[in-house]
Amino acid sequence: MLLILVHHGDAVGPEVDPMRPLSSVGRAATERLARDAMARGVKPDAIWHSGKLRARQTAEIFWKVCNPLSPFTAERGLLPDDPPQWMRDRLSGFGCACEWAGEDRIERFALEATGQRLGLARAQSG
């Protein structure tokens, strides 16, 4: 199984928009990271996100660039306070997935869901 965890791109502050969509910097950085993933042969079988606007926008960029034919859904278990067990149960027996989670819990999630530590790639602004 190949599991790719991506933190949402830079979002505007709640004082700008309480829904916190991606900023122009976050959108551009996410587009660069998605193009790099595609160039490396990443073609996910599914793209999941937490349902938060900024996570959905980030996931949608990867979906359009890497595999617009794959299923694109909000999945239970990807919000910051959701127990990692929900995703572990969901991932068992799944061939390949892209999974979108908050940066503050990606390392903990990966360790608990897969039993492995991982290296994180971050989209750099600018």
Parent domain of 29: 2-12+20-114
Strands (E), 14-114: 47-49, 72-74, 96-100
| Structure confidence at residue 90 (pLDDT) | 78
Strands (E), 1-126: 2-6, 47-49, 72-74, 96-100
Query: Would you place residue 124 in the very low, low, confident or very high pLDDT band (cuts 50, 70, 90)?
Result: very low
**Is 119 within the bounds of a domain?**
no
The pLDDT of residue 56 is above 60: yes
Helix, strand or coil, per DSSP, at residue 64:
helix
**Is 95 within the bounds of a domain?**
yes
Nearest to 38 by CA among 65, 61, 56: 65
Nearest to 9 by CA among 93, 90, 125: 125
**Is 54 within the bounds of a domain?**
yes
Percent of the chain with pLDDT over 70: 71
| Structure confidence at residue 45 (pLDDT) | 86
Could you tell me which residue, 40 or 124, shows the higher pLDDT? 40
| Structure confidence at residue 107 (pLDDT) | 58
Q: How many domains does the chain have?
A: 1
**pLDDT (tens digit per residue) in 35-51:** 988 998 889 888 999 99
Q: What is the DSSP letter of 114?
A: H
**Is 124 within the bounds of a domain?**
no
Which CATH number is 42's domain given?
Answer: 3.40.50.1240
**Is 87 within the bounds of a domain?**
yes
Edge-to-edge strand order for the sheet containing 96-100? Answer: 2-6, 96-100, 47-49, 72-74
Non-local (6+) Cβ contacts of 109 within 8 A are 5, 84, 87, 101
| Structure confidence at residue 100 (pLDDT) | 44
**Is 122 within the bounds of a domain?**
no
Least confident of 16-30, 31-45, 47-61: 31-45
